Chain A
Amino acid sequence: MKPAKNHHNQTRILKPKPKPEPEFKRPITEIIWVSLVSTCIKFLLIPAYHSTDFEVHRNWLAITHSLPLSQWYSDETSPWTLDYPPFFAQFEHFLSFFASFVDPIMVHIHHGLDYKSKPTILFQRISVIITDFVLVFGIYRLTRNLGCKERVLIWVLVIFSPGLMIVDHLHFQYNGFLLGILLISLSALEEGKDLLGGFVFAVLLCFKHLFAVAAPVYFVYLLRHYCSGGFISWFGRLVIMGSAVVAVFAAAYGPFLYHGQIQQVFHRMFPFGRGLCHAYWAPNFWVFYIILDKVLAFLLVRMGFNVQAPTASFTGGLVGDSSPFAVLPRVTPFITFSIVLLAIAPCLVKAWRNPQPRMITRWIAYAYTCGFMFGWHVHEKASLHFVIPLAIIALKSVEDANHYFYLSIVSCYSLFPLLFEVQEYPIKFLLLLLHATLTWIGFSSYFTTTNRKTAETEQTRYDKTRFIVGSFGKLYLLGLLAVEIYGQFVHPILFAERLPFLPLMMISICCAFGMMYSWIWQLRQIIKLH
């Protein structure tokens, strides 16, 4: 906390003269204005396509409303069983109270199956829209002390994020709400309120366990930053933090422990029966691994070796017990787990040596990137977990801005296959285009003005502080465009209905390059910065 404050004070002092802020610049009114504009768009999107996740969440409403707590995690009426941690179940229970007034069939465990009346759609969509204000609050907490230019730009980056719009308001999920909790936790850490940060993060873990990837970073950081001083004070603080976290987990899991359901809860939350990759490959490291395997198998067969074709296929959906690889060794959940931990290690070391609040957002985002790159059965939606926090630090330097610009495009583009119907095509495309244009305009104007001041004194730094999309970057973005054009227009002409997985595979591979770049860049940045 101390360093952050000093840093902030310094920038204040450097300003030529701190003018009194004009009256109209009340951040809270402005952020509400910005978020209400996006709310209007979300309202318009209510009748658009939604995925089976809509039915999943409806079913959870029904389970939590009509069954006693002890049966929440053992019910199997619908294939979409409850597999989120208890707080999320409680959250659905809370929503179902209102839902039962809107349309009682929606929360009926049997009659409600695949129920999609207009009030149901309206209710569920509006519940996402309203809970999104947690995200707005989180982002407000994080940016309230920034200059107004940074502030507004960051709001636009997050609140108009096309990825969130696609996943939450079209595909249907509650990521905005969950990411909002993460941002609140991050803002507390950045302000030095470690206890609050740790507490909120524990709450988040009880909402969605996928966020646990960053737990090692939190652990090391809090251990070193919060628990400081002499042994007594160290131990005292450790006990305080520990009891806060334990209290949260007890509140979440206690009732299930009481009903003897705890094993069932964990069984549902960690279904390792699923394969390494999803039917549509998330653009991560394993894409390269699979491709390498295919290429090696192909070459070996050519050279006359007898290679057994794998019985399971990656393109066919679920993977059973047999190894899907022809040549390379099979990957197990344990291996992915170790690799993720190994990848996070550099940042753990950094956090151990010098735990600074101003680095925490970067570290957390990096941890989620590692989880995304090397994790088991990763979903492409998980890229939001680091894209949104990275928006907060996108304005720290021109390199950050540059990196964020690519990353936000790649991450949103990798979500395109989620919406495969014709009606939503222009919507997702325009959302991305609008956001990319705003980002580009915002970054380039932000970094030219900042550099104009420095340029007078340091001519040499001029080019370094300017936001430009390099020729390599342009080439990559054009590549993405080419892949999209191929998938939409050329592929149907060439193959008609055959090889439907080919365009998807190309999107995965293309985006995997971008993600790989982002991961390496973040790693380098973490090692470099002090």
Chain B
Amino acid sequence: MEKKKKATKPTRDDSESNIWSFVTQRGTTASFICITLFAILVRIAVSIHPYSGAGTPPKYGDYEAQRHWMEITLNLPVKEWYRNSTVNDLKYWGLDYPPLTAYQSYIHGLFLRYFDPQSVELYTSRGYESYIGKLLMRWTVLLSDVLIFFPAVIYFVIVYYSGVHNGSKSGMLWHFAMILLNPCLILIDHGHFQYNCISLGFTVAAVAAILSDRDIAGSILFTLALNHKQMSAYFAPAFFGYLFGKCLRCHNPFLEVLKLGLAVLGTFTVLWWPYLYSLEAPFEVLSRLAPFERGIYEDYVANFWCTSSVIVKWKRLFSTQALRILSLVSTVSTCLPSMLLLIMAPSRRNFLFGLLSSALSFYFFSFQVHEKSILLPLLPASFLAIDEPLIFRWLTYFALLSMFPLLRRDELVLPYVALYGLFVLLYNAPVQREATRETRSPFTTLKYFLTACSLVLHIVCLMVTPPRRYPFLFEAVMMLLCFSQFFFIFMYSSMKQWEILKLSSQTIREKKNS
């Protein structure tokens, strides 16, 4: 399937010189079908591997959490979902995602109950694991992925290449495969077990809608994403900045803002309707969504707080309350520049970079960030894959590395290696996309050095037992390495936004002068 992406510059289509034309010649649809089938195959192949917390009572892992939510939503009335009670022990994987996740769990619960009623019975099903149960759960992820993420990506690619980019067809197909076959997303959703494909799928669709000037649809879709996982708020500054900046340049800015605001509020109202019966109810749910008691960071996540804790013991120095304010202030202050730049120059390219910068600033500074949250910055980076191949590749490599300890705990090293290899191969596919190939930079040696470092780290982590005094030594080194690289990408992306602003103001000035 990857072979279809190598296609052709239209002029050379007929000539013998094009190797991969045999697929692309049949048209884009045929190539899309092949890549899609291949992507499904890879997902299914990953799904036969273990999930997080397989066979580890009493808490199990994310798999059990998702199954438990199905059990709760299926058997309790809506109002009880987020409330602690004798049958709904919130300490045991209580629901801590917004209502859309709950509805999705309900629908998937129906699916499970139809085939395997035992697996979602109230209370007795805790820790339920079986051959068929695993398959059914895997199928719910796969179906969500195919029904939400795939169409969204197709929509995005069509929109992205219909306007400004009249690039080669092969480049487009390569880009499609890159977004669809993102190793991190596949490993987390189909290996570790989560439903990121849903919220990320809505985000992709929202970006595509906004790029095609359907701003209202875009805001509604983004609201859906936000209501599936609150982490989608990582993108909120960019969405807000771009849409607000765009509205300001309309004839009637107030009306435009009002329209978008109403669309967002309307969607929220519909989704939260079951909890709007009293004033306290929504706050009860909200308090579940912000787990402040869990501390500012967990494990070894490559963000600012965790990395700097090597020197500054944040948790000891400050109270949780103070840390909350500290993290809020730092997050806002780091994503504010990117948002302002977007309001000042709301171009499409700037929007994509803005998504990347704001997602990274949230990843670095917000409260309670998980390793898996690197998926969020990775998404806009994959949108930019054709323009900024190096940034995309770099972020993917180090995102994979940052998730390695987690995936290793889940016994997913094998699919990790396979998908890592697949990504390197597909990235370097013999496609004619010379125009967007990485240009040779002075950092070539540095690049090789860092890649070698990360490879060595993988091997050391697998083979060597860490010294007893520092049992998490390797994790800490990985974290430092990843943080430095993520930070470099953050700086680069902010710098790009700045350049775009300068460029746009320059063109405006030139226009005025002429």
Stretch of B100-108, B344-352, B371-379, B413-421 with 4 or more beta carbons under 8 angstroms from chain A:
B413-421
Whether B157 sits at the interface, judged by CB under 8 Å, is: no
- Given contacts A19-B17, A446-B22, A452-B14, whether A430 and B40 have CB atoms under 8 Å apart is yes
Q: Are the CB atoms of B44 and A426 closer together than 8 Å?
A: yes
Contact call A433/B23, Cβ cutoff below 8 A: no
Measured between beta carbons, the chain A residues less than 8 angstroms from B16 are: 15, 19, 147-149
In this assembly, does A67 line the interface, its C-beta being within 8 Å of a C-beta of chain B?
no
Q: Is B22 within 8 A of A41, CB to CB?
A: no
Stretch from A104-112, A176-184, A435-443 contacting the other chain = A435-443
Determine the chain A residues whose CB is within 8 A of the CB of B131 once the complex forms: 422-423
Chain A interface mostly helix, strand, loop or mixed? Answer: helix
Could you tell me the distance in whole angstroms from the C-beta of B211 to the nearest C-beta in chain A?
Answer: 29
A34 contacts B17, CB within 8 Å?
no
Flag B394-416 by CB within 8 Å of A: 1 or 0 each: 00000000000000000000110
**Given the contacts A48-B48, A152-B20, A438-B23, A41 and B430 also touching, CB distance less than 8 Å:** no
Q: Does A445 contact B3, Cβ atoms closer than 8 Å?
A: no
Instruction: Give the residues in chain A near B271, CB-CB below 8 Å.
Output: none
Contact yes or no, B49 A445, CB < 8 A? no
User: Is B22 in contact with A153, judged by CB distance below 8 angstroms?
Assistant: yes
Is residue A257 contacting chain B, with contact meaning CB distance below 8 A?
A: no
Q: Which of B26-34, B321-329, B449-457, B470-478 interfaces with chain A?
A: B26-34
Find residues 381-401 in chain A having any chain B CB closer than 8 Å to their own CB: none
- Asked whether any CB of chain A lies closer than 8 Å to the CB of B41, the reply is yes
Q: Is B25 an interface residue (CB 8 A)?
A: yes
Task: Write the chain A residue with the least CB distance to B415.
Answer: A44
Report Cα–Cα, A492/B74, bound state, in Å: 29
> Is there contact, CB below 8 Å, between B20 and A445?
no
| Contact in complex: B415, A152 (CB < 8 Å) | no
Q: Is B38's beta carbon under 8 Å from chain A?
A: yes
**Which residue of B34, B46, B415, B418 contacts A438 across the interface (Cβ within 8 Å)?**
B34
CB–CB B41/A41 < 8 A: yes
**A441–B30 CB distance below 8 A:** yes
Q: How far is the CA of A46 from the CA of B46 in the complex (A)?
A: 10
Q: Does A75 sit at the interface, judged by CB under 8 A?
A: no
Contacting B at CB under 8 A, from A444-458, are: 444-446, 448-449, 452
Tell yes or no: A40 within 8 A of B by CB.
yes
Question: Interface digits, A8-47 against B, CB 8 Å rule (1 contact, 0 not)?
Answer: 0000000100010110110001100110110111011111
Interchain CB contact under 8 A, A40 and B22: no
Which residues from A are CB-within-8-Å of B41? 41, 427, 430-431, 434
- Complex formed: what's the CA distance from A65 to B46 in Å? 34
Query: Are B46 and A33 neighbours in the complex by a CB distance under 8 Å?
Result: no
- In this complex, how many residues of chain A approach chain B with their Cβ under 8 Å: the count is 47
B189 lies within 8 A of chain A by Cβ: no
CA distance A151 to B22 in the complex (A): 11
Q: Within 8 Å of chain A (Cβ to Cβ): is B71?
A: no
Specify which chain B residues have a CB less than 8 angstroms from the CB of A427 in the assembled complex: 41, 44-45, 48
Residue of B with least CB distance to A431: B41
Q: Which residue of A lies closest to B41 (CB)?
A: A430
Total contacts A to B, CB within 8 angstroms? 124
- Count residues on chain B whose CB falls below 8 Å from chain A CBs: 44
Alpha-carbon gap, A153 to B428, bound state (A): 20
Contact of B414 among A15, A43, A156, A441 (CB under 8 A): A43
Compute how far the CA of A399 lies from the CA of B40 in the bound complex, rounded to whole angstroms. Answer: 32
Residue of B nearest to A155 (CB): B3
Name the residue of chain A whose CB is nearest to the CB of B40: A430
Complex: how many Å from CA A508 to CA B4? 34
A449 CA to B26 CA in the complex, in Å?
A: 11
Report the minimum CB–CB distance from A136 to chain B (whole Å).
15
Closest to A446 in B: B22
A436 shortest CB reach to chain B, Å: 10
Give the docked Cα–Cα distance between A44 and B428 (Å): 20
Question: Given known contacts A41-B42, A44-B45, A147-B16, is B37 in contact with A442 (CB within 8 Å)?
Answer: no
Task: Specify the chain B residue showing the minimal Cβ separation from A26.
Answer: B430
- B138 (CB) vs chain A CBs: closest residue: A423
CB of B170 within 8 Å of the partner chain? no
Complex CA gap A448/B27 in Å reads: 13
B44 touching A430, Cβ below 8 Å: yes
Contact between chains at A36 and B425 (CB < 8 Å): yes
Residue in contact with B26 in the complex, picked from A24, A30, A444, CB distance below 8 Å: A444
Task: Give the nearest-CB partner of B2 in chain A.
Answer: A37
Assess A441 versus B45: contact at CB under 8 Å? Given A46-B414, A152-B20.
Answer: no
**A37 and B132: CB pair below 8 A?**
no
B19 touching A30, Cβ below 8 Å:
yes
Q: A46 vs B48: C-alpha distance in the bound complex, in angstroms?
A: 9
Are A40's CB and B430's CB within 8 A?
no
Q: Are B21 and A34 in contact (CB under 8 A)?
A: no
Q: Which residue of B lies closest to A20 (CB)?
A: B17
CB-based contact B417/A149 at 8 Å: no
**Cα of A122 to Cα of B413 in the assembled complex, Å:** 12
Distance from B246 Cβ to chain A, minimum over Cβ atoms (Å): 41
For A434, list chain B residues within 8 Å (CB). 1, 34, 37-38, 41
The verdict on A437 contacting B430 (CB below 8 Å), with A44-B45, A426-B44 known, is: no
> How near does chain A come to B412, taking the closest CB pair, in angstroms?
11
Shortest CB-to-CB span from A196 to chain B, Å, is 29
**Which residues does chain A contribute within 8 Å of B15, judged by CB atoms?**
19
Q: Does chain A have a CB within 8 A of B460?
A: no
Would you give the shortest CB distance from B1 to chain A, in whole angstroms? 6
The one of A29, A43, A147 in contact with B417, judged by C-beta atoms closer than 8 angstroms, is A43
B422 at the interface (CB under 8 A from A): yes
Which residues in chain A, 124-159, are within 8 Å of chain B measured between CB atoms? 147-149, 151-153, 156
A34 contact set on B, CB distance < 8 A: 3
B90 to chain A, nearest CB (A): 34
A22-B17, A449-B14 known; A437 vs B34 contact (CB < 8 Å): yes
Please state if B418 and A441 are interface contacts (CB–CB under 8 Å): no
Chain B residues near A448: list those with CB within 8 A: 25
CA A430 to CA B142, docked complex, whole Å: 14
The smallest C-beta distance from A30 to any residue of chain B, in angstroms, reads 6
B250 at interface, CB cutoff 8 A:
no
Is B265 an interface residue when CB atoms closer than 8 A count as contact? no
Given known pairs A438-B34, A446-B22, the reply for A40 and B14 (CB within 8 Å) is no
Chain B positions within 8 Å of A423 at CB level: 48, 131, 135
Least distance between A96 CB and chain B CB atoms (Å): 23
With both chains docked as a complex, state the minimum distance between the C-beta of A491 and any C-beta of chain B, in angstroms: 18
Q: Which residues of A contact B48 (CB under 8 A)?
A: 44-45, 47-48, 423, 427
**Given A48-B48, A149-B22, A426-B44: A40 touches B17 (CB 8 Å cut-off):** no
Inter-chain contact A441/B34, CB cutoff 8 Å: yes
Given contacts A40-B422, A422-B135, contact A433 B37 (CB under 8 A): yes
Tell me if B429 counts as interface (CB < 8 A to partner A): yes
**Nearest CB of chain A from residue B2's CB, rounded to whole Å:** 6
Contact mask for chain A residues 115-129; partner B; CB cutoff 8 A; 1 contact, 0 none: 000000010000000
Nearest CB in chain B to that of A48: its residue = B48
Given contacts A37-B422, A423-B135, contact A30 B22 (CB under 8 A): no
Question: How distant is A465 from chain B, measured CB to nearest CB, in Å?
Answer: 15
Residues of B within 8 A of A147 (CB): 16
Q: Mark A153-185, 1 if CB is under 8 A from B, else 0.
A: 100100000000000000000000000000000
Q: Are A149 and B2 in contact (CB under 8 A)?
A: no
The docked-state distance in angstroms from the alpha carbon of A153 to that of B42 is 21
Residue from A37, A437, A452 within 8 A of B37 (CB atoms): A437
7 A–B contacts, CB within 8 A, in A order: A43-B414, A44-B48, A426-B44, A427-B41, A434-B38, A445-B25, A448-B25
- List the 7 closest pairs (A to B, CB-CB), nearest first: A44-B45, A43-B418, A445-B25, A40-B422, A148-B19, A430-B41, A434-B37
Q: 6 new A-B pairs (CB below 8 Å) besides A148-B17, A422-B132, A437-B33?
A: A37-B425, A40-B425, A41-B42, A41-B45, A43-B414, A47-B48
Residues of B within 8 A of A (CB): 1-4, 14-23, 25-26, 30, 33-34, 37-38, 40-42, 44-46, 48-49, 131-132, 135, 414-415, 417-419, 421-422, 425-426, 428-430
